[in-house]
Amino acid sequence: MTIHLYTHPACLDHDTGANHAERPQRLTAVMHALHAAFPTLTWKQAPRAERDALLRVHAPALVETILRPNAAGITALDPDTMLSPGSAEAALRAAGAATAAVDSVCGGTSGRAFCAVRPPGHHATADTAMGFCLFNSIAVAAMHAIACHGLVRVSVVDFDVHHGNGSQDIFAREPRVQYISSHQWPLYPGTGTAQERGVGNLFNAPLPPGTQSAQFRSTWRERLLPAIDQFAPELLLISAGFDAHWRDPLAQFELEAEDFGWLSAELCAIADRHAAGRLVSMLEGGYDLQALAECAIAHVGALLPRDKRDDAVQVPFQ
């Protein structure tokens, strides 16, 4: 079992403006942490996503809006979601990392993959960029796996503290894709009740502010992990947001980095049982740099084969 990590320098050029929570330093913190902790891992340069891959998920008008040349500086699509001259290339590389990672795990080149990219994606709907997100890269990954690799059961697992309304919107009537989410309720974007079931493929677990490790783990152990097991996915895709950490400024969960490592290991075990180990993870939220670095290490460490996990170098956050 090997793991590939995908990124691209263009992902740093998506400029959201001064004091924006979704800033380039997020990706820098993740990159530095992973390079220091896992110096022998293989890094791959993310390609640009093909237009056809984007159009499987997004309306042509949205694709044109994001990719339109922009020399005017930073413009706002909504109060939270920005476009800059570097945004189109960053979004193409983020979605391209998703498709390349799927090709890698489905083609046998690697068993697992983590995409250290930005902008995040899980709030982007079929026709609307929102919530810091331009293209929904995890949705692009899922539909690429179905269209290009013939898969018929793909699980998208989302543990970002914010509900992935865009992913749910895209998959709500797609029985080949299962969407699983734990998230804080109430909180932006205001979706993700347990009653939202799609065609029986949506499983939402809204949890209250102040949720700590015990409640988070029991929710996954008793409700969400069994649903994934029952679906028996041929591929697991993870929207890996780390803003449920207690240090994060945009939400009120009280999780530790170890909680993300625990859940990631549980998801790897399901991938081993049903999907020949195939798993692709995409960076989503996480807005405290120290927490983001620590959680990324815990997450990627859990994706490693067991005999490689002890090789991780323990490096304090700088």
- 109: DSSP letter: S
Q: Give how many domains the chain has, as a whole number.
A: 1
What gap in Å lies between CA 170 and CA 212, rounded to an integer? 30
Residue 315 in any domain: the answer is no
Tokens representing residue 303 in the block: 């994706």
Residue 72: what pLDDT?
85
* pLDDT grade for 310, boundaries at 50, 70 and 90: low
Residue 199 in any domain: the answer is yes
pLDDT tens, residue by residue, 87-142: 999 999 999 999 999 999 999 999 999 999 999 999 999 999 999 999 999 999 99
Q: Which residue has the tokens 């793991």?
A: 3
- 160: DSSP letter: S
* pLDDT grade for 312, boundaries at 50, 70 and 90: low
Question: Does the pLDDT at position 150 exceed 60?
Answer: yes
pLDDT tens, residue by residue, 203-254: 999 999 999 999 999 999 999 999 999 999 999 999 999 999 999 999 999 9
pLDDT tens, residue by residue, 45-55: 999 999 999 99
Residue 224 in any domain: the answer is yes
- Per-residue pLDDT averaged across 143-169, rounded? 98
pLDDT tens, residue by residue, 40-97: 999 999 999 999 999 999 999 999 999 999 888 999 999 999 999 999 999 999 999 9
Residue 318 in any domain: the answer is no
**Percent of the chain at pLDDT above 90?**
94
Residue 314 in any domain: the answer is no
CATH number of the domain that residue 110 is part of: 3.40.800.20
* pTM exceeds 0.85, yes or no: yes
Sequence-ordered strand ranges (E) for the chain: 3-7, 42-45, 75-76, 82-83, 112-115, 154-158, 177-184, 202-207, 235-240, 279-283
The answer to whether the bond into 186 is cis (omega within 30° of 0) is yes
Q: Is 4 a catalytic residue?
A: no
Residue 167 in any domain: the answer is yes
Residue 97 in any domain: the answer is yes
Which member of 4, 58, 123, 274 is catalytic? Answer: 123
The boundaries of the domain holding residue 250 are 3-309
Residue 148 in any domain: the answer is yes
